[in-house]
Structure 1
Amino acid sequence: MRLLVLGRSGQVATELARLSGEGHEIRCLGRDEADLSRPKAAMGAVRRALEAFRPEAVINAAAWTGVDAAEAQEDAARALNADAPAAIARLAAETGLPFVHISTDYVFDGAGETPFATDAATAPLGAYGRTKLLGEEDVAGAANPAGWAVLRTSWVFSAHGANFVKTMLRLGAERDALRVVADQVGGPTPAAAIAQACVSIAETLGADPRRSGIYHFSGAPDTSWAGFAHEIMARAGLDCRIEEIPSTDYPTSAPRPLNSRLDCRSTEAVFGLTRPDWRTGLDRVLTELEARP
Structure 2
Amino acid sequence: MFEFERIKFRNFILYFFIFAVCLEILFEHFNINTENSILFNFFTDIFTLFWLLIKFKKNNIIVKDQYKISENKFEKKYILKLTISLIAISIMFSFLQDFIISFFHFPSLYNDKDLVNFYMKKRQPLEELFFAFNLIIFVPFVEELFFRFFLINRFALKWGIKKAVILSSTMFALMHPNFFGTFLFAIAVSIIYLETKSLKLNTFIHMLNNLTAYIFLKILFISNLFVYLLIPIFILIIFYSSKFLYSFFSTYRLSKYDKEFSKKINEEISQAKYDKL
**Range of TM-score over shorter length:** under 0.3
**TM-score with structure 2 setting the length:** 0.27
Which structure has the larger Rg? 2
**TM-score with structure 1 setting the length:** 0.26
Bigger relative contact order (CA 8 A; separation at least 6)? 2
